[in-house]
Copies of this chain bind each other. A is one copy, B any other.
Amino acid sequence: MKNFINRVDSVLEESLDGFAAAHADLVVLGEEYEFIRRKDVRPGKVALISGGGSGHEPLHAGFVGYGMLDAACPGQIFTSPTPNQMLNAAKAVDGGAGVLFIVKNYSGDMMNFHMAAEILDQENATVIVNDDVAVENSTHTTGRRGVAGTLIVEKILGAAAERGDSLQELKILGDAVNKATATMGVALSSCTVPAAGKPTFQISATDMEVGVGIHGEPGRRRVPLASADAIAHELTTAVIEDLSLKAGQEVILLVNGFGGTPMLELYLMVKAARKVLAKSGVTVVRFLTGSYVTSLEMAGCSITVTAVNDEFLALWDAAVCTPALRWGM
């Protein structure tokens, strides 16, 4: 893999400089690259903070702004941010109503966000996202991984925080959205972490990794590449079964690219996933398609479904204004 870089050890910082310049109307870069925060902090609102290893852009910094996150802490590529980053982010965006952490379930992130939460006072809570149904436990994870469903949790919680929900209400809502959300992905190629300089995993020109994680962690099985319909069937069925979706259920469908898959193919997967959902009597009431939770340049995609009620849907539809997700304003 070839990259646009100057020096391996400054990739993240230079990228954050570009990001902050490009979105100076919406966000501010914290000192020493510790966090990206909303430009306008709203007093009296619970502050939502997420973060994690970089390399998944636009997650999380791309979701900082009105109606979504107040701050995001970027770790080095595929590496957890430090507790200090979270503490300084919390200091910068705490509007007096408390701070909620949204954490993808990876051991490093869990440990560091937990340390930060302990240092912060009681007005703090954590929502853990573990939407990946592919495997229990994995390379960097005890239990299920947090993957593309994180976007949906962050969007719905962001809207709820904006309307004035309390910390406790947000914690309950976040857990409920996470529980209603399931994802499974597939990789057609590996990603390459610039500092490593070689692909994270080896995969032949004719195979795919079903159930892959967003750092290229192993999934359920390595099998020959199947048709789009067959892949969509396997991913979507796993998600439907995990959520025990019943006929008549309304859902949000997120077809998420891992970075190296063209939109042309992602939309083809939308059609394929929708057929599977329709066969189960499940109705897709909202769609999102794009490369939102990525693994650098990995080719592949994941299918995320969130079972919605009227409240989830209203919060999903609420106005959002971030670098990567914007509607209603």
Contact = CB atoms under 8 A, between A and B. Distances in A.
A40 B3 CA distance: 42
Interface stretch (A9-17, A136-144, A167-175): A9-17
A268 B225 contact: no
Contacts of A227: 5-6
Contacts of A208: 2
Contacts of A189: 2
Interface string A42-55: 00000000000011
B264 A55 contact: yes
Given A271-B15, A326-B326, A297 B6 contact: no
Nearest to A323: B289
Interface in A151-205: 188-189, 205
Contact of A3 (B12, B58, B265): B265
Interface string A11-32: 1101111110111000000000
Q: Which of A1, A16, A262 has the most CB of B within 10 A?
A: A262
Contact of A267 (B22, B205, B263, B287): B22
What is the copy number of this chain in the assembly?
2
11 contacts: A4-B269, A5-B227, A18-B270, A18-B272, A19-B267, A23-B287, A55-B264, A58-B263, A62-B263, A261-B297, A262-B296
B264 A15 contact: yes
A82 to B, nearest CB: 19
Q: Which of A55, A268, A269 has the most CB of B within 10 A?
A: A268
Contact of A287 (B21, B206, B231, B269): B21
Nearest to A74: B264
Contact of A18 (B4, B271, B296): B271
A231 B4 CA distance: 8
Interface residues of A, number: 62
A102 B16 CA distance: 35
A299 interface: yes
A263 B231 contact: no
Nearest to A284: B21
A223 interface: no
A274 interface: yes
Interface string A253-284: 00000011111111111111010000000001
A321 to B, nearest CB: 8
Given A4-B228, A260-B260, 9 more contacts: A2-B225, A3-B265, A6-B272, A15-B264, A19-B267, A21-B284, A54-B264, A55-B262, A77-B264
A265 B229 contact: no
A318 B192 CA distance: 39
Contacts of A299: 1-2, 297
Contacts of A328: 329
A2 B262 contact: no
When A and B form their complex, which 10 residue pairs have the shortest distance between CB atoms, in order from nearest?
A18-B270, A18-B271, A18-B267, A57-B263, A22-B287, A2-B188, A4-B265, A4-B228, A19-B267, A15-B267
